[in-house]
A and B are shown apart, each in its own frame.
Chain A
Amino acid sequence: MAKVFIPALLHTFTRNVSQIDVEGNNVRTVINNLDMEFPGIKSKLVEGHQIKPSISVAVDGNITPMGLLEEVGEQSEVHFLPAISGG
């Protein structure tokens, strides 16, 4: 199962759980299964059929442009981060 890290500002939403093992072979199914554990958390992360524009998702440390479609492995780490840009 993938290890999902919950952002600090959502800890109140997850009863202070900061990381949890979740089934799923891509980010979409991981979030769907996370939402079953913590109902409503999907709405904090997803807008329509995409990750919210203000959020980036990192799988195994790499911020992915694939969003919900990014593949997730059995030993993967999944992080949700604020989106960043550069100059």
Chain B
Amino acid sequence: MTNIKDPKKYEVIGTRPLRPDGTDKVTGRAIYGGDFEMTGLIHGKIFRSPHPHARIKSINYDKALELEGVIAVVTADDLPVNPVGNIAIGYSRGNILAKDKVLYVGHAIAGVAATDPHIAEEALNLIEVDYELLSAAMNVEEAMDSSSQRIHENSFMKEFGEMTTTNNNIDEHFQHKMGNVDKGFDNADLIVEGKYSTVMVHQGYIEPQAATALWRADGSLTVWNSTQGSFPDRDELSNILDIPISKIKVVPLEIGGGFGGKIPIYQEPVAALLSKKAGKPVKIIMSRKEVFESTGPTPGGYTWVKIGVKNDGKITAMQSELAFEAGAYPGSPVGMGSLCVFAAYKCDNQLVDGYDVIVNKPKTAAYRAPGSPNAAFATEQVIDEISQKLGIDPIDFRMMNAISEGDRRVDGPKFPVNGLKQVLESMKNSPQYQKKLEGPNKGRGIAVGYWFNVGLQSSCSITVNTDGSVNLIEGSTDIGGSRASIAMQAAETLEIAYESVNPSIVDTSTVGYTAVTGGSRTTFSTGYAAHLAAEDVRDQMIKRASEIWGVSNDSVVYSKGQFSSNADPELNMSFKKLASQLEKTGGSIAGNGSINPKKVGGSFSGSICDLEIDPDTGKSTILDFTAIQDAGKAIHPSYVEGQMQGGSAQGIGWALNEEYFYDQNGIMNNSSLLDYRMPTSLDLPDINTIIVEVPDPSHPYGVRGVGEANIVPPTPAIANAMKRATGKRFYNLPMNPPAVISKLNQDS
């Protein structure tokens, strides 16, 4: 059971202290993956496919090995043999080093290690690969076409984890059904439907993937890398290299952004194999081109949505079909998209079909609320269309149909306590929505979005120092200020100052299992573990005080950093004083906390966008933008606001600029940050934030994860604003100037 303290009594939570890692990061002292050095270090580079789909007939790296300075070359032949029938391990290893076929441009084929990174790069030019070119499928429609070349010849479509006999490029079909949609549409006065498409986009983290591996003579492996999760990395390295986890240590270094893209591993196993052959530590840093072409972006695809309503605004039926690009191996977020597509709306009749489609592009990875923005781009525009046709304010229409606690999701479970209606109320009352927007070519759009948030395992340890400070040991890599948000929860529980908590992020051999920094889980789960560890410390300190005073344990009370005893009012001692006496009263005190939460509350968010379109150039200028999100309880409001602004900025990028631009040969033409147009500060307005706090009862401080839901509503909010500015509905991303001009010309 968890108890939410009265928020009015919080001393630390809700304040805005400085982050412990801030100074090192802004002065360049922090050690990132690329900064890591050690004696004997050599450098690795990876040879990659120039073709989107081809059979590998032969690989010859003799000339590369002869180049002075080259120490080792590895290919898929250096990976363990895949066990018969285990398709999953074949896919995992296949994406690390291609064996028989290459499945996308940038697919790794060989690794080279040399004394100098430039020699390693030169050696790549000496590797000769003979290919048999195959036709490529570059989008879901092409891939699903019955005449399309099969990318995995022996793979069949799965339904609920079971193989069917359908052999096409669809890896998995999801379906969720509630009530009777046909009956629901028959009862509708108005039906609106549309098919909306999104494109592949990248997380755009500033720091490229970087890792160093050392395979020692005793068979143990240590990896220092930039990662969202050292423990999952350790498990995946064990899986791919077929060595026990007891032989692997992953040391997480500072991370320069991830957004989901640094959950998978890419070059770590290659560096490990090169280190094994070379007998030296091997470092591999990706170039930006490699980051774009060879890591895991989020998919493009389509979402078709059909919604029926009565004239009074009540939704009677909702149906959707989603098909997302998995990339070269299965695993698009279409399953999550299928669950989010109608999450905000109550309706008894729903049918959702989702398809995970293999295409000749890099294997997709998580990206901030994976799948939900793609789905919302469709749903929130259809909802907007309906509200316009019925003449109902778009926020009022959403409020009329908003889900409440106890309403069912399309897959069946009931929603717990949530803040959707409070988010809508805040949107309606926001200064931006209350202000009139006037003038030609201007429009205001709104949208809402949902993300589940996840729990997963976290562990923390706390040791008490003799000066009354504590060391907080955690396994969650800090991407968005989690050192501070976790330390604040420990300080609140221990009733000591935030500055008295010294957080450290440690390797996989130094703390209990901790899952990824992702899924909006870190402040929730690792914060929960820190709270439990702090409770453990507090209880041990109470016991120690009772022993020192010779009173019963039950008589000792701890409040506001002071121990006292009900048995004798003269007995009292500060946390700091007791800490100084630990050595001579039984030794030091350490507390532990581990959790794998059974309950976790999701988060709803909203966006309001005012924009102006230049009809001559097609350029959209965002005039005003407000992000609203239910944070449960904002532990550190500045970091919550930062997440809301960051998610909004990325959503604006999806909407107006970003795309993997492929030519007809399946080659990405914009794999640099100069050509892949992410919004900069010059493109963005100040993003206003409104934090809504509807506490999640499953967390001791009511926390809801805030890292993801904020990226969901910006794209449809912008599309809805563009509809009002131009009178045109935009069905495809990105809605960049050429698309706007094309749309304006096409319809006129």
Q: Which residues of A contact B (CB under 8 A)?
A: 5, 7-11, 18, 44, 52, 54-55, 58, 61-62, 64-66, 70, 77, 79, 81-87
Contacts and interface: CB of A to CB of B under 8 A. Distances in A.
A82 B160 contact: yes
Contact of A86 (B174, B415, B451): B451
Given A9-B173, A85-B454, A87-B260, A61 B416 contact: yes
B259 A87 contact: yes
Which 5 residue pairs of A and B lie closest in terms of their CB atoms, listed nearest first? A87-B260, A86-B519, A87-B366, A54-B161, A8-B177
Given A65-B596, A86-B518, A87-B260, A81 B370 contact: no
A63 to B, nearest CB: 8
A16 B263 CA distance: 39
Contacts of B368: 87
B-side interface mostly:
loop
Contact of B367 (A55, A65, A87): A87
B335 interface: yes
Contacts of B176: 7-8
A-side interface mostly:
loop
A5 to B, nearest CB: 5
Contacts of A83: 335
A55 B161 contact: yes
A61 B339 CA distance: 14
Given A64-B598, A86-B454, A10 B160 contact: yes
B438 interface: no
B219 to A, nearest CB: 28
Given A7-B160, A44-B162, A82-B174, A87 B598 contact: no
A79 B451 CA distance: 19
Interface stretch (B50-58, B185-193, B406-414, B673-681): B406-414
B34 interface: no
Interface in B159-184: 159-162, 173-177
Interface residues of B, number: 47
A84 B161 contact: no
A8 B412 CA distance: 10
B226 to A, nearest CB: 16
7 contacts: A7-B175, A7-B176, A54-B161, A62-B599, A65-B457, A79-B412, A82-B335
A16 to B, nearest CB: 11
A58 B260 CA distance: 24
B104 interface: no
B162 A84 contact: no
Given A8-B176, A85-B518, 11 more contacts: A8-B175, A9-B159, A9-B175, A62-B413, A79-B411, A82-B160, A82-B335, A87-B260, A87-B367, A87-B368, A87-B519
Contact of A44 (B160, B177, B365): B160
B210 interface: no
Nearest to A70: B598
B413 A61 contact: yes
B173 A5 contact: no
A84 B600 CA distance: 13
Contacts of B339: 84
Contacts of A87: 203, 259-261, 263, 365-370, 518-519, 708
Contacts of A11: 177
Contacts of A65: 455-457, 596-598
B512 to A, nearest CB: 15
A77 B413 contact: yes
B49 interface: no
Contacts of B457: 65
